[in-house]
């Protein structure tokens, strides 16, 4: 580097030589394109934030770290010829510097309050994400409001400083290497070409230069943000900083990080008949849309009779709103049911009573469904896509519009069933101050507050409280490709809850009822497709551990070869066993008396060799045959053979005989 003591002596020839060469250097610009760096909005990065490397930077007040980038040195004329492109690059570099300064302040906060934060954040990455978001908003606003970081003049001063710095360094290096006389003998174009080449090489491969340059730039930036650093020091050791981030109003329940609310492999949702009706009405698009009428779904059952409407608040009952809700009714999907179950679970885990108001984070409604955030990048925040949040807001609009008009519903009071009529909303949405919040697709708040409508109050009181475990896959599976599985999980989990009192989990399910409850229309032209898809869905649920096993109950596969087999199959029944985790959870509500449950899962299973499935599979593979080929030969469905091969079911006597003959 140049010896700046020489600047004090204007008669020194070394200084005169340096200045003489420097005066011949044309004006230039340095354009830096930063590689995309992990930042505090990358999920994996925040798990270990701040890392040991980041802590060292904080201790040394190293705001702008040395990072990989591409640096271009261009002449002023070239810059002006492409000013729009190059100016955009300069702005991006400026944003990167601000982003790094913001990250530095967040890391400084974490390092300062580590002893307080560590126990709070143990195994809670979502809470950490939440705190980092709040800190980002705080320090980002502070930095952008700072005059020295937000006006063009300040950045021009900074730009002039580092160009002068780079010119002095490079000229000094050239004089040391080539000597003043050699450089002075070059014409101006040759000198400038040599100068630009030397500077470019320094940025590309001179570690000593890069380390020194980064240190000096940090010293300059530290002065730019000195006021913010002083403000931080004045707040230091104040527990109000922690309380500000974690504290909430006493008027509503404390928000919990969403991963902390999930009970092992299951969610907790309501399981009463009204909630099940709402679920099926949305999932199966049961709403009827008549002219000048609000969308309505009806039910006529022994324990529940009434209707469910998509009905806005009185001050919003306009023609345009009716058209909007008609459109929603026609496009309801499993996404809407996912949001319903997520909303219910998040409410119940934060408040055991229906009369409490709880905070709901919009991003939590995406996180709980297993959706991944996009990674953050240079100058921009990561997180969920706008389209994903819009889907959630549309679903919440449906939830807000749900209005129940129940003419007769059975509730239990002191252990006795009583018929009542009720009406009211499913959910009530508010702002933090308690005022009504109108949900729309266009506005996505960070959070909102809800409480359950009074109808659900009757099903969450004391011993009559009706909740169920819902396997996580119900909301995590793809709502379009895995629709069958999602619908089956919701219905079967409800049936398991209704069977829990008698522990009659192996009570068979009629196939026609299963298909009706999950909204599947029977295609009489291609009924085999319906059977294959149902069996495939059950196979997948077994493989994924949602159910322990499934198999036909008293089923004769020979019926498949007869005319009119569809009617026989629809009347057949299937046993679907829950996992041990769910059985154990419901044990406290079982009636303490012996209950006879079906155990005869196939015809005379004692005569069937239990290794038939494995033997059959080995032989099929040796013969080079697919399941489909064997299925066609034996007139047995591929799903049924697959289930037998995996040991999920024992074949009936007729099928067993066919398989033995095929093996021999």
> In this predicted model, what pLDDT tens digit does every residue of 425-456 receive, in sequence order?
999 999 888 889 999 988 888 889 998 888 88
- Please tell me the number of Cα atoms within 13 Å of 26 on its side-chain side: 18
In this prediction, residues 457-467 reach a mean pLDDT of 74
Cβ atoms of residues 69 and 34 within 8 Å = yes
Q: Which of 164, 174, 168 minimizes the C-alpha distance to 195?
A: 174
464 band by pLDDT with thresholds 50, 70 and 90: low
Q: Is 621 exposed, middle or buried (0-12, 13-18, 19+ CB in 10 A)?
A: exposed
Structure tokens at 357: 């108001």
Which residue intervals of 284-430 are DSSP H helices? Answer: 319-330, 334-350, 362-367, 386-401
In this prediction, residues 367-380 reach a mean pLDDT of 66
pLDDT value, residue 591: 61
CA dihedral 193, 199, 200, 204 (to 10 degrees): 150
In this prediction, residues 33-39 reach a mean pLDDT of 54
The string of DSSP codes covering 35-97 is PP---TTSHHHHHTPSPHHHHHHHHTT--S----EEEEEEEHHHHHHTHHHHHHHHHHHHHHH
Going from the C-alpha of 254 to that of each of 342, 361, 389, 424, the distances in angstroms are: 17, 12, 23, 26
237: CB partners within 8 A, 6+ apart: none
516: CB partners within 8 A, 6+ apart: none
209 band by pLDDT with thresholds 50, 70 and 90: confident
Structural domains of the chain, with CATH:
4-244 (no CATH), 258-480 (no CATH), 482-550+566-595 (3.30.1370), 602-664 (1.10.260.40)
| Strand (E) or helix (H) holding 537 | helix 527-543
Cβ atoms of residues 32 and 93 within 8 Å = yes
What is the rounded distance in angstroms from the CA atom of residue 29 to the CA atom of residue 178?
24
Cis peptide before 50 (omega within 30 of 0): yes
What is the rounded distance in angstroms from the CA atom of residue 338 to the CA atom of residue 296?
21
Q: Which residue has the higher pLDDT, 383 or 517?
A: 517
pLDDT value, residue 10: 45
Q: How do residues 533-571 score in pLDDT, each as one tens digit? A: 999 999 889 888 889 888 888 777 777 778 888 999 999
pLDDT value, residue 146: 67
What is the rounded distance in angstroms from the CA atom of residue 453 to the CA atom of residue 434?
15
Q: Is 126 exposed, middle or buried (0-12, 13-18, 19+ CB in 10 A)?
A: buried
Beta-strand runs (E) in 140-265: none
Q: Which of 392, 365, 364, 386 minimizes the C-alpha distance to 374?
A: 386
Per-residue pLDDT for 81 more than 70? yes
pLDDT value, residue 652: 66
Q: Which of 435, 426, 423 minimizes the C-alpha distance to 396?
A: 426
487: CB partners within 8 A, 6+ apart: 283, 334, 517, 518, 519
In this prediction, residues 415-421 reach a mean pLDDT of 85
pLDDT value, residue 324: 95
- Please tell me the number of Cα atoms within 13 Å of 375 on its side-chain side: 8
Cβ atoms of residues 408 and 306 within 8 Å = yes
pLDDT value, residue 258: 42
Give the lowest-confidence range in 239-248, 389-398, 432-441, 496-505. 239-248
Other C-beta atoms closer than 10 Å to the C-beta of 55 total: 15
- Strand-pair partners of 450: 358, 429
Give the predicted TM-score (pTM) of the model.
0.56
**∠ at Cα 617 (615, 618), nearest 5°?**
65
In this prediction, residues 473-478 reach a mean pLDDT of 92
Structure tokens at 480: 């379009």
What is the rounded distance in angstroms from the CA atom of residue 16 to the CA atom of residue 617?
91
> Strand 467-471 to strand 266-270: parallel, antiparallel, or no bridges (unpaired)?
antiparallel
Per-residue pLDDT for 85 more than 60? yes
Which residue intervals of 424-478 are DSSP H helices? Answer: 454-457, 473-476
Per-residue pLDDT for 406 more than 70? yes
Longest dimension (CA), the chain: 113
Q: How do residues 222-246 score in pLDDT, each as one tens digit? A: 776 666 666 665 555 545 566 666 5
pLDDT value, residue 3: 45
Q: How do residues 629-650 score in pLDDT, each as one tens digit? A: 888 788 777 767 877 887 766 7
DSSP 146: -
Percent of the chain at pLDDT > 90 equals 28
Q: Which residue has the higher pLDDT, 381 or 276?
A: 276
The string of DSSP codes covering 277-306 is HHHHHHHTT--B--TTS--EEEEE-SSEEE
Per-residue pLDDT for 499 more than 70? yes
Give the lowest-confidence range in 75-84, 207-216, 223-232, 455-464. 223-232
Question: What is the arrangement of strands in the sheet containing 416-425, beginning at the earlier edge strand?
Answer: 296-300, 304-310, 402-413, 416-425
Percent of the chain at pLDDT > 70 equals 78
Q: Phi and psi of 116, rounded to 5°?
A: -85, -35
pLDDT value, residue 573: 93
Structure tokens at 76: 């002023």
Q: Which residue has the higher pLDDT, 89 or 597?
A: 89
Helix, strand or coil, per DSSP, at residue 296:
strand
pLDDT value, residue 426: 92
pLDDT value, residue 425: 94
pLDDT value, residue 322: 95
Per-residue pLDDT for 379 more than 80? no
142 band by pLDDT with thresholds 50, 70 and 90: confident
CA atoms 618, 622, 626, 631: torsion sign: negative
Per-residue pLDDT for 13 more than 90? no
Q: Which of 244, 245, 254, 259 minimizes the C-alpha distance to 124?
A: 259
489 band by pLDDT with thresholds 50, 70 and 90: very high
147: CB partners within 8 A, 6+ apart: 154
**∠ at Cα 101 (100, 102), nearest 5°?**
90
Highest mean pLDDT among 8-12, 153-157, 549-553, 558-562: 549-553
DSSP 316: G
pLDDT value, residue 46: 56
Give the chain's mean pLDDT: 79
Give the lowest-confidence range in 178-187, 268-277, 597-606. 597-606
The string of DSSP codes covering 247-266 is ---TTSBPP--HHHHSBTTE
Q: Phi and psi of 163, rounded to 5°?
A: -70, -40
Cβ atoms of residues 480 and 338 within 8 Å = no
Helix, strand or coil, per DSSP, at residue 602:
coil
- Strand-pair partners of 510: 573
**∠ at Cα 228 (222, 231), nearest 5°?**
130
Cβ atoms of residues 304 and 455 within 8 Å = no
Per-residue pLDDT for 576 more than 80? yes
Q: How do residues 95-127 score in pLDDT, each as one tens digit? A: 777 777 787 788 888 777 776 677 666 656 566
Q: How do residues 285-332 score in pLDDT, each as one tens digit? A: 999 999 999 999 999 988 899 999 999 999 889 999 999 999 999 999
CA atoms 501, 505, 507, 511: torsion sign: positive
What is the rounded distance in angstroms from the CA atom of residue 368 to the CA atom of residue 297?
28
Q: Which residue has the higher pLDDT, 378 or 510?
A: 510
DSSP 526: S
Per-residue pLDDT for 577 more than 80? yes
pLDDT value, residue 594: 43
DSSP 459: T
Helix, strand or coil, per DSSP, at residue 423:
strand
Q: How do residues 595-620 score in pLDDT, each as one tens digit? A: 444 433 333 434 567 688 888 888 88
Per-residue pLDDT for 216 more than 70? yes
């Amino acid at each position: 580097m140049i010896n700046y003591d020489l600047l004090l002596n204007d008669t020194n020839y070394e200084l005169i030589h340096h200045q003489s060469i420097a005066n011949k250097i044309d004006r230039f610009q340095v354009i830096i394109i930063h590689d995309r760096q992990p930042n505090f909005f990358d999920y994996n990065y925040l798990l270990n934030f701040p890392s040991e490397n980041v802590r060292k930077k904080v201790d040394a007040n190293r705001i702008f770290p040395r990072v990989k980038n591409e640096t271009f040195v261009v002449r002023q004329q070239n810059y002006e010829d492409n000013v729009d492109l190059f100016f955009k690059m300069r702005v991006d570099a400026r944003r990167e510097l601000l982003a790094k300064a913001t990250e530095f302040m967040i890391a400084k906060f974490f390092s300062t309050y580590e002893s307080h934060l560590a126990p709070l954040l143990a195994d809670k990455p979502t809470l950490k994400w939440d705190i980092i978001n709040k800190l980002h908003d705080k320090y980002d606003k502070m930095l952008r409001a700072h005059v020295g970081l937000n006006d063009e003049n300040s950045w021009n001063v900074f730009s002039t400083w580092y160009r002068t710095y780079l010119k002095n360094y490079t000229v000094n290096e050239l004089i040391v290497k080539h000597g003043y006389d050699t450089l002075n003998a070059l014409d101006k174009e040759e000198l400038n070409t040599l100068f630009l080449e030397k500077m470019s090489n320094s940025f590309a491969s001179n570690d000593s230069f890069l380390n020194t340059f980064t240190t000096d730039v940090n010293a300059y930036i530290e002065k730019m943000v000195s006021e913010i650093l002083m403000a931080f020091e004045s707040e230091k050791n104040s527990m109000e900083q922690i309380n500000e981030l974690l504290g909430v109003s006493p008027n509503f329940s404390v928000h919990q990080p969403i991963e902390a609310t999930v009970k092992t492999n299951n969610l907790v949702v309501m399981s009463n008949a009204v909630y099940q009706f709402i679920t099926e009405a949305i999932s199966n698009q049961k709403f009827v849309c008549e002219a000048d009428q609000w969308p309505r779904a009806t039910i006529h059952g022994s324990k529940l009779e009434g209707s469910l409407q998509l009905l806005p608040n009185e001050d919003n009952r306009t023609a345009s709103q009716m058209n909007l809700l008609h459109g929603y009714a026609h496009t309801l999907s499993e996404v809407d049911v996912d949001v319903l179950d997520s909303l219910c679970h998040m409410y119940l885990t934060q408040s055991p009573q229906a009369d409490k108001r709880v905070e709901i984070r919009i991003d939590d409604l995406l996180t709980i469904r297993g959706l991944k955030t996009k990674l953050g990048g240079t100058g921009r925040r990561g997180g969920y896509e706008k389209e994903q949040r819009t889907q959630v807001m549309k679903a919440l609009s449906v939830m807000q519009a749900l209005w129940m008009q129940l003419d007769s519903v059975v509730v239990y009071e002191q252990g006795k069933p009583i018929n009542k009529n009720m009406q009211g909303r499913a959910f009530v949405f508010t702002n933090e101050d308690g005022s009504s919040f109108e949900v729309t697709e266009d506005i996505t708040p960070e959070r909102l507050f809800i409480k359950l409508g009074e109808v659900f109050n009757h099903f969450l009181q004391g011993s009559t409280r009706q909740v169920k475990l819902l396997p996580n896959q119900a909301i995590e599976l793809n709502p379009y490709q895995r629709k069958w599985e999602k619908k089956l999980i919701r219905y079967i989990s409800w049936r398991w809850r209704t069977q829990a009192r008698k522990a009659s989990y192996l009570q068979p399910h009629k196939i026609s009822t299963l298909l009706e409850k999950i909204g599947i229309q029977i295609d009489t032209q291609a009924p085999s497709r319906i059977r294959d898809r149902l069996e495939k869905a059950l196979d997948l649920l077994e493989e994924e551990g949602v159910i322990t096993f499934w198999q036909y109950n008293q089923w004769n596969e020979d019926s498949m070869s007869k005319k009119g087999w569809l009617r026989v199959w629809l009347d057949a029944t299937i046993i679907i066993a829950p996992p041990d985790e769910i059985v154990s959870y419901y044990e406290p509500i079982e009636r303490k008396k012996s209950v006879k449950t079906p155990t005869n899962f196939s015809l005379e299973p004692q005569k069937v060799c239990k290794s038939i499935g494995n033997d059959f599979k080995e032989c099929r593979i040796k013969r080079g045959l697919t399941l489909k080929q064997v299925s066609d030969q034996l007139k047995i469905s591929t799903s049924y053979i697959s289930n037998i091969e995996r040991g999920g079911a024992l074949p009936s006597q007729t099928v067993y005989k066919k398989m033995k003959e095929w093996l021999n």
